Chain A
Amino acid sequence: MNDSQPVRLGERTSRFDAAAKVCGAEHYAIDHYPEGFVWAGARRAGVAHGLLRSVETAAAERIPGVLRVLTARDVPGTNRYGIIHKDTPVLADTKVRHAGDAVALVVAETKEAMQQALAALVVVIDPLPPVCTVDAALAPDAPLVHEGRAEGNVLVHAVIEKGNAAAAFAACAAVVETTFHTPVQAHAFLETENGLARSNEDGTLEMIVSTQAPFRDRFEISHALGIPFDRIVITAPYLGGGFGGKDGATVQCLLALAAVSVPGRWIKMVWDREENLLAGYKRHGARLEYRAGALGDGTLHALECRLYYDTGAYAHLGGEVLGLGMEHAAGPYRIGNAHIEGWCVYTNNPVAGAMRAFGVCQVSFAFEQIMELLAEKLGMDPLAFRLKNALLKGDVNAASVRLTTSTGIVECLRKIGKHPLWLNREAWKAAAPRHKKRGIGLAAVWNAMGYGKNVRDSAIAKIALGEDGGFIVTNGVADMGQGNASTFAQIAAALLGQNAGRMRVIQPDTVSALPSGSSSAGRTTYAYGNALVKACEELKHRMINRAGLILFVDDDRDLRLVPGAVEHAPSGRTIPLDRLASFMKPEERISMHHFVTPVVTDLPDTGKGLAYGFPHLFFAYGAHCAAVEIDLLTGIIDVAAYATVTDGGRVLNPALFEQQIEGGVAQGIGYALMEECLAGEGILRTPNLSTYIIPTALDIPSIDTDWVETDETSGPLGMKGVGEIAMNGPLPAIANAVADALGTRICHAPFRPERILAAIRESML
């Protein structure tokens, strides 16, 4: 940022955190090696389902340098954690439910001793038949993943009902029916799960963790281990990526257990990449059965769908992920009649939890292909068909919620319709080289922002004027890379008329910061930003008031904040901020404000099974266009060009906005083309980054990022969150482009070459 000028909103400026990161000077959790630290590591079950008979620790304990070997017997407290359902053991006790379950924990002086001890443990598990698919889990005689549950393997079952879908099909001129499959995706953030912990003599437990939710972590640890949560102090430095995978306990409870068992020493735990892929959270794989109909005039009229989400061994936020899938199942469209039924089921697969576009990218794949199929049947242009049905502000969506906040899908679609990629599509397709076919596909998507009903979404901002005349923002929501910390500095600097050099942002720790929720749900900048705007206004008011006292001015309107000073505009007299600060008491120089995100008040009479996070009041929208070239000989898809238009309310900083969209598109392209965690009989067959493939610079085209600026009047300075929306577009847009190229539709993602080749063969029949 240019330091002589006050920071402005809406301008493209560099991130505050970039300079330190680009020099390698930023300290992530993983970069801490405190004096005298020791290592902790977990032994994983390696078996998807079984009864845990015994863990022999004697040989491991004899290895020099081993400080403690811990099993479930050593866990104080309930030995259970989980954000809503407390169903996850810190260390498995009677049963193992997936291959990544931790069965023992070793603390040792060196990494080598730790690794030897982990290998020396003798773990005896009596295998049980693993439940590896949704169908197997729902079978009447299915083995139970969690014993004694009356609901069997069903974690959540719910219905959203609007009108009368079954009866409405009779009036439809076009009806289509298809089943879709989406893969299990890994977050694959580059900084794997890790942290440090030390149990101190005064009874406090200090932790530094790569976490999206330091405040909630305290409750998890407290519940699992019986440690009073006010004794737990967690610091969350910048994360090396999160995307939802660090929302929920990873290393936290294990580290806390190690720390209380070996007090006084800093204990470090780092999951290596294999452990990350084995034991880390995943995106839910899903099967989506759709039937939809439209009237002869192109009005979308009826939808019946059944959604099955595989949550793996533990609940995490599986029910809530399904809930979002259901809420978005009809797409950003008006529809009179809908029956949306969902099941989230336990299996012995890896644990699925939160991931960017939380349950929504699965249904996006389905509804956006359904829209194409309907348009085809009706003989309508796919863009015109979408535009005809796209939600407008004031409409009631399929979950029976009236849209009262900014709704920009129509503007997004109109703008993508003017994009050269779309306008010149026929010429581009006709120019396909030999042995290649080209296609262009569209997708219209939406994504809720905020936690939704019954999950209080609040943030408390804190800003202080320092003695040196600089400002300190105490960030309450971890920055996993999306740049919220930088945006907070930008917002505060702009409102206080300051330049970048005067702003400092402290990353969250549970002592200095105030509880502000997790870094998730596209709500981070919205919720904390709203609180910060108010906190800045209050601080500014106090500063102006005090400056007026010093300058003998009683009309506040003549005083304004300029970089480094308060200025009396008519006379040009100023008081420097450090002097002003010295006139103010420390408590006056701190301003805090608590913001609670509004929720739907006019609740629909449906979706009863969705207890938490249904429905939502705010949505971001997007229209995507993908251009693909398919090699008919190899089945390899090249995404040649990609364009997006997004409605995220007002854009505070185009650079950060584009970062979110481009990054989401890249993850979406990976999801569409290559990413899939393969578990055969519950055992991961993609254990590392040479088998679980994510896109490289050669796989992602240049991405054209555009936006329409609606004004989200409830948002800080008109913005709403865009962290998730872009992830939803690529899979359906590419699917539609592939169908455009080949004339046959592939309903099973990802589109690996063998699937494409099979489709090519089919299209030639």
Chain B
Amino acid sequence: MKISFTLNGAEIRMETAPDRRVVDILREDLGLTGTKEGCGTGECGACTILLDGVTKLSCLMLAAQIDGREITTIEGMAKSGELHPLQEAFVESGAVQCGFCTPGMVMAGAALLEQNPAPSDDAIRTALSGNLCRCTGYQKIIDGVKQCCRKEHEKKEPS
């Protein structure tokens, strides 16, 4: 089938099988390999993308489900060479080790901050609990989200 959707701000039209997984469309067909696959069955969160601003697991979605929708992947988070504040905070807080969970974590963390700019530790842990990380013990990822909140807050209300 023919589908069209917005991907990181750009219009995409393509011919694809309706049951092609979105993670394969992104990675294999469009070369956006920042979105990772860690399980293919909805358990790890490595394939997290934003669909109309809401986190979704791209390994569980099929082509037909993105027709006419707006997708953001990790490649769309940095704007004109500037890292997204959460990406920057992840770099600074040491949230990245092997980095394989990182794109999914950034998407999940950024979606949380959109809804709740000052989440509690518990809220952060809950929001990220669908994203597995085997390297970090999560501490520095949580620190990264908190650091990002702090900096954004300071930007808005310079003391």
Listed in ascending order, the chain A residues whose CB lies under 8 Å from chain B are 14-15, 17-19, 21-28, 30-31, 33, 187-192, 238-243, 272-273, 480-483, 655-656, 658-659, 662-667, 688-690, 694, 696-698, 700, 702-703
Contacts and interface: CB of A to CB of B under 8 A. Distances in A.
Contact of A700 (B39, B101, B135, B139): B139
Q: Which of B101, B106, B135 is the most central at the interface, judged by chain A CB atoms within 10 Å of its CB?
A: B135
A27 B33 contact: yes
15 contacts: A15-B96, A21-B96, A30-B33, A30-B37, A31-B27, A31-B33, A190-B36, A190-B46, A190-B101, A190-B133, A481-B99, A663-B134, A664-B137, A666-B137, A696-B138
Given A14-B92, A24-B35, A663-B137, A238 B132 contact: no
A704 to B, nearest CB: 10
B96 A17 contact: yes
Interface in B3-58: 27-28, 31-41, 43-44, 46
A23 B75 contact: yes
Interface of B: 27-28, 31-41, 43-44, 46, 73-75, 77-78, 83, 87, 90-92, 94, 96-103, 106, 121, 124-126, 128-142
A23 B142 contact: no
Contacts of A191: 36, 38, 98, 100
A751 B41 CA distance: 27
B142 to A, nearest CB: 7
A33 B134 contact: no
A28 B121 CA distance: 31
Contacts of B83: 19, 22-23
Q: Which of A19, A22, A188, A666 has most chain B Cβ within 10 Å?
A: A22
Contacts of A24: 32-35, 73-75, 102-103
A690 B41 contact: yes
Contacts of A666: 136-138
B126 A658 contact: no
Given A23-B34, A482-B97, A689 B129 contact: no
Nearest to A665: B137
A484 to B, nearest CB: 11
A667 B36 CA distance: 22
Contact of B138 (A243, A482, A697): A697
A669 B117 CA distance: 30
A697 B135 contact: no
A190 B136 contact: no
Given A26-B99, A240-B99, A658-B94, A700 B134 contact: no
B126 to A, nearest CB: 7
B3 to A, nearest CB: 19
Given A23-B74, A273-B38, A703-B139, A697 B87 contact: no
A187 B132 CA distance: 13
A266 B77 CA distance: 32
A694 B101 CA distance: 14
B140 A659 contact: yes
B139 A662 contact: yes
Question: Which 7 A/B pairs are nearest by Cβ-Cβ distance?
Answer: A24-B34, A481-B98, A21-B99, A240-B100, A666-B137, A24-B74, A662-B137
A25 B27 contact: no
Contacts of A656: 94
B92 A663 contact: no
Nearest to A666: B137
B61 to A, nearest CB: 17
B126 A667 contact: no
Nearest to A661: B137
B140 A662 contact: yes
A51 B96 CA distance: 46
Contacts of A30: 33, 36-37
A658 B33 contact: no
A702 B139 contact: yes
Given A690-B43, A697-B129, A14 B77 contact: no
A275 to B, nearest CB: 11
Contacts of B125: 697-698
Contacts of A187: 134
A272 to B, nearest CB: 6
A22 B135 contact: no
Nearest to A25: B34
Contacts of A694: 132, 134
Given A19-B83, A662-B139, A697-B141, 17 more contacts: A15-B96, A18-B99, A23-B78, A24-B73, A24-B74, A30-B33, A187-B134, A190-B134, A191-B98, A273-B43, A273-B44, A662-B137, A688-B39, A689-B39, A689-B41, A690-B43, A697-B138
Contacts of B135: 241, 481, 659, 663
A240 B36 contact: yes
A31 to B, nearest CB: 4
Residue of B40, B138, B139 with most chain A CB atoms under a 10 A cut-off: B139
A548 to B, nearest CB: 39
Kindly name the residue among A14, A483, A696 whose own CB sees the greatest number of chain B CB atoms within 10 A. Answer: A696
Nearest to B28: A33
A657 to B, nearest CB: 10
A96 to B, nearest CB: 26
Contacts of A192: 38
Nearest to B106: A22
Nearest to B130: A696
Nearest to A668: B137
A46 B93 CA distance: 44
B22 to A, nearest CB: 15
Contact of A655 (B94, B98, B134): B94
A22 B133 contact: no
Given A18-B91, A698-B126, A483 B97 contact: yes
B91 A659 contact: no
A188 B135 CA distance: 10
A196 to B, nearest CB: 13
A33 B100 contact: no
A658 B138 CA distance: 12
Contacts of B36: 30, 190-191, 240
Contact of A688 (B43, B73, B87): B43
Contacts of A28: 100
Contact of B134 (A243, A482, A703): A243
Contacts of B90: 18, 22
A183 B114 CA distance: 41
Contacts of B31: 33
Contacts of A18: 90-91, 94, 96, 99
A268 B59 CA distance: 19
Contacts of B27: 31, 33
A30 B40 CA distance: 14
B134 A667 contact: yes
Contacts of B32: 24
Nearest to B141: A697
A164 B138 CA distance: 47
Contacts of A696: 128-132, 138
Contacts of B97: 481-483, 659, 663
Contacts of B77: 23
A489 to B, nearest CB: 15
Tell which of A238, A480, A662 has the most Cβ of chain B within 10 Å: A662
